[in-house]
Chain A
Amino acid sequence: MDEFSTADIVVNLLLAVRWTLVLTAVAFAGGGGVGLAVLIARIDRRPWLSRAAKAYIGLFQGTPLLLQLFVMFFGLPLLGLEIEPWMAATLGLTFYASAYLAEIWRGGVEALPKGQWEAAASLGLHYVTRLRLVILPQALRLTLPPAVGFLVQLVKATAVTSIIGFTELMKTADAINNATFEPFTVYGMVAVIYFALCFPLTTYARHLEGAPSR
């Protein structure tokens, strides 16, 4: 086996970061799309639809992400789909993100004054148009800080996909560790890299909240 220098370790870890970033971006975008649909169902006046969305959110927020990924990984083949780790990771994290984003945005919708709904209705806007032009833009802007905060949670959550075999930063670290037997260096560096990804986002979220910087 080739010798790994510390520089090799760093380079290989940094190359693996792109898969962490791609997975985060896809899950955030996909989760945003699905989450919007869940949100619209959640705030619907029909109780069955609203309750179904609530159950969906509760299911993903009340179970471990690792188990969600396992169910996805072993469940989709039963539907006749040939499934690979990257697909299970992407789908799993997308659903996971959708539940959290829907709940965050619901908070924004509920924080809006009732007058916004009434004013939009009195303009004769259709329900869908009311949502699209009046309610959602305000709710999404209002909840930008927690949404950025959730992005941090999502970056960290991608590490769990290493367990189902998706080769992102953490999985690469495991492989390098198996080759070098330098767990202190390898996992220490991985921690530094995750920190470098997450801390700026955390700081940005705090800035958006208008909290005094520390």
Chain B
Amino acid sequence: MSGLDFGWLPGAAGDLARGVTTTMMLIVVVTAFGTVLSVAGAAARRSRSRLLRQAVASYVEVIRNTPFLVQLFFIFFGLPSLGLRLGNVVAAVIAMTLNMAAYGIEVVRAGLDAVPRGQWEGGTALGLSRYRVFVSVVLPQALRVIFPALSSQIIIIMLESAVVSQIAVRDLTYEADMLQARTFRAFETYLVVTLIYLGLATLMRRAMQAGAYRWILGGRP
């Protein structure tokens, strides 16, 4: 294939960098909200209220059994019919967060289940409140199980986030769409951007692994 042309690449570096920044900012925000929501949801799954338990279980099933693109369009295009008008970035963050939490809740739940029952009893015997035992005793131990699975989930949602370009969020894929319309080099543009995503996913995996060993798992593998 001699017809490939990457001459546009140096001039596009700024646009691509901006797209990468937007994509990464989305991920940082969604990771923060999504993690909190996952822990809250997992706690709700163990609540004494049957109604709350079932509501969370239904939410998880609905999100996990429908495509992300449909969720995104429903939130961005559909909800304004109910008077709930959201900006495109807000809609994207909400859709991504809801999606991440639906998987995250199950991950956190499995992590909590892995903590022996005696830890709860021990904490309670020390006179700690249920909340204290959860936050200070059980959760730190559960993190060892949760962290690897949750970090894969963060990478998956990063890759899924490419479709938010469809509601004009100016992420990396959106920048690619704009670039190829200007350069008429669609294949080369999307190829380069695909490889940038691959690089991002690899970097994130490495960074999170390093972080896990440093702060959670203690020392080198």
Contact = CB atoms under 8 A, between A and B. Distances in A.
Interface of A: 58-59, 62-68, 70-71, 74-75, 78-79, 152, 156-160, 162-163, 170, 173, 177, 182-184, 186-188, 190-191, 194-195, 198-199, 202, 214
Interface of A is mostly: helix
6 contacts: A62-B202, A65-B162, A70-B176, A70-B186, A71-B194, A183-B77
B204 to A, nearest CB: 10
In this complex, the member of A70, A157, A190, A202 whose beta carbon has the largest number of chain B beta carbons within 10 angstroms is: A70
Contacts of B186: 70, 74
Given A59-B198, A64-B162, A71-B190, A170 B65 contact: no
Interface residues of B, number: 44
A194 B70 contact: yes
Nearest to A67: B194
In this complex, the member of A58, A63, A152 whose beta carbon has the largest number of chain B beta carbons within 10 angstroms is: A63
Interface in B54-112: 57, 61-62, 64-71, 73-74, 77-82
A137 B159 CA distance: 33
Contact of B162 (A67, A158, A194): A67
Nearest to B194: A67
A78 B1 contact: yes
Contact of B81 (A157, A173, A184): A184
Contacts of A188: 74, 78
Nearest to B201: A62
B38 interface: no
B13 interface: no
Q: Which 8 pairs from chain A and chain B are nearest by CB?
A: A64-B162, A184-B81, A159-B67, A183-B77, A198-B65, A74-B186, A156-B67, A70-B190
A71 B68 CA distance: 21
B190 A67 contact: yes
Contacts of A191: 62, 66, 70-71, 74
In this complex, the member of A78, A182, A191 whose beta carbon has the largest number of chain B beta carbons within 10 angstroms is: A191
B65 A74 contact: no
B163 A160 contact: yes
Contacts of B165: 66
Nearest to A199: B65
B3 A78 contact: yes
Given A71-B191, A182-B81, A66 B163 contact: yes
Nearest to B205: A62
A70 B177 CA distance: 10
Contact of A170 (B57, B67, B193, B202): B67
A184 B78 contact: yes
Nearest to B187: A74
B69 A159 contact: yes
B197 interface: yes
B35 interface: no
A142 to B, nearest CB: 20
B70 A74 contact: no
B121 interface: no
A33 to B, nearest CB: 24
Given A75-B191, A160-B163, A62 B198 contact: yes
Interface in B140-175: 155, 159-163, 165-166, 173
Given A198-B66, A202-B61, A64 B173 contact: yes
